[in-house]
Structure 1
């Protein structure tokens, strides 16, 4: 931000994003949002040509997850993370599959990347937590706009209400999005993915040895969840098939997750940055009330 201007403020403690973005169930929602992002030809081309998602998928995933968590739970660090991301994207430019020039910070694709989180969260929450009320949808969207400001998205480049969002979203589905190379790769069940290179050495060695056996069912399961938690209108727009049998399987799986996760202790239910932020918030409340 320039001199004299205040940094944008993250979503408030106790809000909807505060509750769901750090919950482990969010890990099941993120692949669908990523897939919807790269369905934009400019975004897909940027990821195809500049990302390390093929050679270092685990590292890229870890960095992306930490970034998302900072937007919501980072406090003063949230705005700095937004500035870091914009600096990172300044050099990402090229030509998409249709021969059109793109730049990662062009307002239309940059705003779309952020916008995808709202419909994907809304859809997946119906399965993994519960459907949002109309008031909660408006609150979630308002909080998502606050995150957009952290990322440097101007208000004029994002619909400012839920009522304005849906026509924009439907227009993007109808006129802009396509099953790009990266979309197809993210949904492929035969893609070559290296074994995880994070965690204790003994675990990595075991995973490396078993990876040829583990990868095929894991790839199928990931593709299933990605497709399932994509909003149905997005699936149709991209020409992605989804059967009644798959829907029944998704509902059974989601029911198990929806039942079990709330029973977990906080250290297992919430991701580390969310745990730390929640603990700080409780400590601050206790101090004020003490």
Structure 2
């Protein structure tokens, strides 16, 4: 069953600020060599980044707000990943459903959400909130078919597990490097009204470079510092101050928005 209504995930995941943290979580996932190889070999994130992102977001929101559909989505994801296997950049075989690999993809959401909340909501979670959030995130793991034995049982056990993976396994894989490369080509959005898509196609050479720099800034900035250092991604005190200023502005403006703009559609429908 998904986490309960009124829980921390229920209150926070559907906020539009979640969109700002997703690139950091995705990059942290693909920094694992097996995950990076699987995404590089099998994903359409290069050819259809907007569609891929939309589907991933819809899936993630279903885990929390989908009710009975959450379990169905978890089964669907496992079926999709059943055929994803190959050899990573070091010549080691991988399978997307290998328990440590599949569990790492899920685990990354917790540290990124924790850091993002600190900056984008202008306060860190309390220890009690962290405990509740991790328990709910672990419940989401069960929805995805991850066994309890493959997930740390609580926050105190999570951090040693997380630090070990960061220290011993993560690297700047080809896909992770691509996600923070401001020169990587991304096509313009192919969703929305036709007239808007035409305008974006014309303006994209001007719009994308600053957007790419902003994406890199948020991806590296909202990544936990130890993971950022393990990947060799540069980050300065000046950038940290910029992130704090951006977070203050975001934390001030977003709560003032009407619900139809502040919350993502699935969350808005579920919460009424």
Task: Give yes or no for TM over 0.5.
Answer: yes
Taking the aligned partners of 1:164 and 1:148, their CA distance within structure 2 comes to 16
In structure 2, the partner of 1:286 is none
Indicate yes or no: 2:37 matched with 1:39.
no
In structure 2, the partner of 1:264 is 257
Larger CA Rg, structure 1 vs 2 = 1
SS state of the match for residue 102, structure 1? strand
Taking the aligned partners of 2:259 and 2:209, their CA distance within structure 1 comes to 32
In structure 2, the partner of 1:98 is 90
Taking the aligned partners of 2:83 and 2:161, their CA distance within structure 1 comes to 28
SS state of the match for residue 209, structure 1? helix
In structure 1, the partner of 2:163 is 170
Match of 1:215 among 208, 224, 231: 208
Unpaired segments ≥5 residues, structure 1: 1-8, 280-290
Q: How many angstroms does 1:157 deviate by?
A: 0.4
Taking the aligned partners of 1:203 and 1:45, their CA distance within structure 2 comes to 35
Q: How many angstroms does 1:237 deviate by?
A: 1.2
Deviation string, structure 1 residues 115-138 (Cα, Å, up to 9, x no partner)? 000000001100011210000000
Deviation string, structure 1 residues 179-215 (Cα, Å, up to 9, x no partner)? 0000100000001110100000011000000001111
In structure 1, the partner of 2:179 is 186
In structure 1, the partner of 2:3 is 11
Count the aligned residue pairs.
271
Q: How many angstroms does 1:84 deviate by?
A: 0.4
In structure 2, the partner of 1:288 is none
In structure 1, the partner of 2:223 is 230
After TM superposition, the runs of 4+ consecutive aligned structure 1 residues lying more than 2 A away are none
The RMSD of aligned alpha carbons is: 0.5
Q: How many angstroms does 1:40 deviate by?
A: 0.5
In structure 1, the partner of 2:240 is 247
Taking the aligned partners of 1:206 and 1:15, their CA distance within structure 2 comes to 41
Taking the aligned partners of 1:140 and 1:237, their CA distance within structure 2 comes to 26
Unpaired segments ≥5 residues, structure 2: none
For residues 60-209 of structure 1, the aligned pairs below 5 Å read 60-129=52-121, 130-209=123-202
